[in-house]
């Protein structure tokens, strides 16, 4: 109105609330975009080699900062039809632009992406959300504890992130009903109700996981990086979800040996490949230290599939022996830049057992699907 003035006060909390709402919405958008890009993010070198840093930067290719988009080329766009079109007819298709659409050097801009800061723990929580050890069985000595959040109580005071919306609204409705129900429904501080949670421990049967990696000469930098990326997240997943799981690290070329965790992730080797050696070592370790009557046993092996041809039959026999004592055996094959034909995967077609699972990884984006396939939460199995 003419002559009137509008004053913004520093005490106007609606401004603070608006800013916080925008920040919260942005955080939700970032989290949603990260979840959509997990397959690409999981194998990012900056994460695998983060050296203990708590916060890492992850590239999100489907999230951009706000900006106006202009049609610099002044292209024609879809408009009004002629009136004789039928349902399902394609009236107009926008011309395809972008990188890699034509031969030679292009003149189109590249695809930008947004870099977001996220803690390694937050990223792990998203990756491990639906994962669990498959086929867990009750054993004699349940000693493996898994953290679990248990809903305990509802209180009148608490932090805003724990507010129970349903009970809060119900309190407001009851208070309004006592007054006759004629006033507009409002929520007062007395109506607020907050959930309380407590960390409990669910005891499960013991479990041991045997991590087996091919370190022969045919495993180049790409193949070793993919295998170590998978085992990096596998180890973190097991130690995040389970408090007392045993992990045994085995490396092999023509011979197999048990290594420390540091050696497993840092040391390479050379020479030929005899995969049956690592399967025999795994069987020996199980026999000496991990009785199947006391432990749930899992074995995961990664290789490029370039095995000594005369050893393939031995591999099939030892894998079948492992399946007799293991809850699950997983084999991951990496198709690197010099990949030709797999001798090992072809041989494993003879293995007919639903506890044996094979995956193939052709690029970095295949690590996350491999984790999902090996550690898929079983129907009816409670998430820890």
pLDDT tens by residue, 131-142: 888 877 766 655
Q: What separation, in Å, do the N-terminal and C-terminal C-alpha atoms of the chain show?
A: 61
> Among residues of the chain, what percentage have pLDDT more than 90?
30
Question: Residue 81: what pLDDT?
Answer: 55
Whether the pLDDT of residue 105 is over 50: the answer is: yes
> Among residues of the chain, what percentage have pLDDT more than 70?
66
Contact 351, 316 (CB under 8 A): yes
Q: Where are the domains of the chain?
A: 14-65+113-127, 148-202, 204-374
Question: Residue 278: what pLDDT?
Answer: 96
Question: Residue 4: what pLDDT?
Answer: 46
Q: What predicted TM-score, i.e. pTM, was given to this entire model?
A: 0.64
H helix intervals, 60-163 = 120-127
Question: Residue 56: what pLDDT?
Answer: 64
Question: Residue 379: what pLDDT?
Answer: 45
Sorting pLDDT into bands at 50, 70 and 90, what band is 184? Answer: confident
Phi, psi of 48 (to 5 degrees): -60, -35
Whether the pLDDT of residue 193 is over 60: the answer is: yes
pLDDT digit string, tens, across residues 208-217: 999 999 999 8
Section 8-12 average pLDDT? 51
Whether the pLDDT of residue 383 is over 50: the answer is: no
Sorting pLDDT into bands at 50, 70 and 90, what band is 6? Answer: very low
pLDDT digit string, tens, across residues 223-274: 999 999 999 999 989 988 887 789 999 999 999 999 999 999 888 777 788 9
Section 282-301 average pLDDT? 94
Domain 204-374, second-level architecture: 3-Layer(aba) Sandwich (3.40)
| Residue ranges with strand state E in the chain | 55-60, 114-119, 144-155, 194-204, 206-214, 246-252, 256-259, 295-303, 328-334, 356-361
The owner of tokens 């959040």 is: 149
Sorting pLDDT into bands at 50, 70 and 90, what band is 380? Answer: very low
Question: Residue 65: what pLDDT?
Answer: 53
Question: Residue 79: what pLDDT?
Answer: 56
Question: CA 89, 93, 99 angle in degrees (round to 5)?
Answer: 150
Phi, psi of 250 (to 5 degrees): -125, 135
Query: Rg of the Cα trace of the chain?
Result: 28
User: In this predicted model, which residue has the larger pLDDT, 57 or 90?
Assistant: 57
Sorting pLDDT into bands at 50, 70 and 90, what band is 276? Answer: very high
The owner of tokens 């001798």 is: 343
């Amino acid at each position: 109105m003419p002559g009137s003035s509008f004053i913004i006060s520093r005490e106007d909390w609606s401004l603070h609330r608006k800013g916080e709402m925008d920040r919260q919405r942005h955080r939700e958008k970032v989290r949603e975009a990260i979840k959509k890009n997990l397959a690409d993010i999981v194998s990012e070198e900056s994460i695998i080699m983060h050296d203990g840093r708590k916060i890492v930067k992850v590239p999100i290719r489907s999230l951009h900062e706000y900006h106006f988009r202009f049609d610099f080329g002044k292209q024609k766009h879809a408009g009004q039809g002629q009136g004789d079109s039928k349902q399902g007819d394609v009236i107009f298709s926008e011309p395809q632009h972008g990188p890699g659409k034509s031969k030679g050097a292009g003149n189109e801009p590249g695809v930008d992406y947004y870099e977001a800061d996220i803690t390694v723990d937050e990223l792990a929580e998203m990756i491990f959300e639906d994962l669990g050890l498959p086929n867990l069985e009750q054993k004699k000595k349940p000693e493996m504890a898994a953290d679990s959040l248990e809903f305990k109580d509802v209180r009148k005071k608490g932090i805003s992130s724990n507010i129970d919306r349903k009970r809060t609204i119900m309190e407001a409705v009851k208070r309004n009903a006592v007054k006759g129900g004629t006033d507009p429904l409002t929520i007062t501080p007395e109506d607020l109700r907050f959930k309380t949670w407590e960390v409990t421990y669910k005891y499960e049967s013991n479990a041991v996981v045997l991590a087996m990696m091919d370190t022969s000469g045919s495993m180049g930098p790409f193949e070793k990086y993919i295998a170590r990326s998978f085992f990096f997240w596998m180890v973190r997943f097991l130690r995040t979800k389970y408090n007392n799981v045993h992990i045994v690290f085995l490396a092999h070329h023509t011979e197999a040996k048990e290594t420390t965790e540091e050696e497993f992730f840092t040391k390479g080797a050379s020479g030929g490949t005899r995969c049956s050696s690592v399967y025999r070592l795994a069987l020996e370790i199980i026999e000496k230290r991990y009785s199947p009557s006391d432990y749930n046993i899992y074995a995961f092996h990664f290789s490029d599939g370039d095995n000594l041809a005369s050893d393939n039959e031995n591999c099939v026999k030892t894998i079948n022996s492992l399946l007799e004592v293991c809850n699950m055996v997983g084999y991951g094959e990496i198709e690197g830049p010099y990949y030709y034909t797999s001798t090992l995967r072809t041989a494993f077609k003879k293995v007919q057992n639903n506890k044996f699972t094979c995956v193939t990884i052709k690029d970095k984006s295949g690590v996350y699907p491999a984790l999902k396939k090996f550690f898929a939460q079983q129907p009816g199995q409670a998430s820890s």
